[in-house]
Amino acid sequence: MSKRQVLGRNSLLDPGRLIVNATEPVESLLSQTLIVYVIRTSTLPTIANRPSTALLAASLLVCGIGLWLPNSVLAGALGFVPLPPAYWWGLGAILLVYAALTQVVKSWLIRRFGIE
């Protein structure tokens, strides 16, 4: 194997690949947790219909670990690198749109099928 194959584009040591490795679990954990909060009630998720303490604690713990891992001492072993600031702005926008669309579809399903 040549040096170019080992260190070239799409190799395991490519910085672009390491960022992708780190973004996937962070985005997955945050989006899945967000959707749990959106679909858990038939109304808009607000302070008036708070989640249980156990759900809130578990969500904060799991999301906190997911946010910590790319910057932790374990990052190198997991193939992660710290995520750039632009990633967080993009992820925030994606999560907002995802939550809004999920709320729209949830509301439609409730009206259409009378699910409560």
Candidates 31, 33, 6, 12; CA nearest to 81 is 12
70 and 82 in contact (C-beta within 8 Å)?
A: yes
User: Which residue ranges make up each domain of the chain?
Assistant: 3-113
Structure tokens at 25: 């679990």
Helix (H, G, I), strand (E, B) or coil at 74: coil
* Distance separating alpha carbons of residues 89 and 106, to the nearest angstrom: 26
> Which residue from 61, 58, 86, 81 is spatially nearest to 69, judged by alpha carbons?
81
pLDDT at 2: 45
Residue 115 is predicted with a pLDDT of: 76
Spell out the per-residue pLDDT of the chain, length 116, in tens.
444 444 445 544 455 565 667 888 899 999 999 999 999 988 887 777 888 999 999 999 999 999 999 999 998 888 888 888 999 999 999 999 999 999 999 999 999 988 76
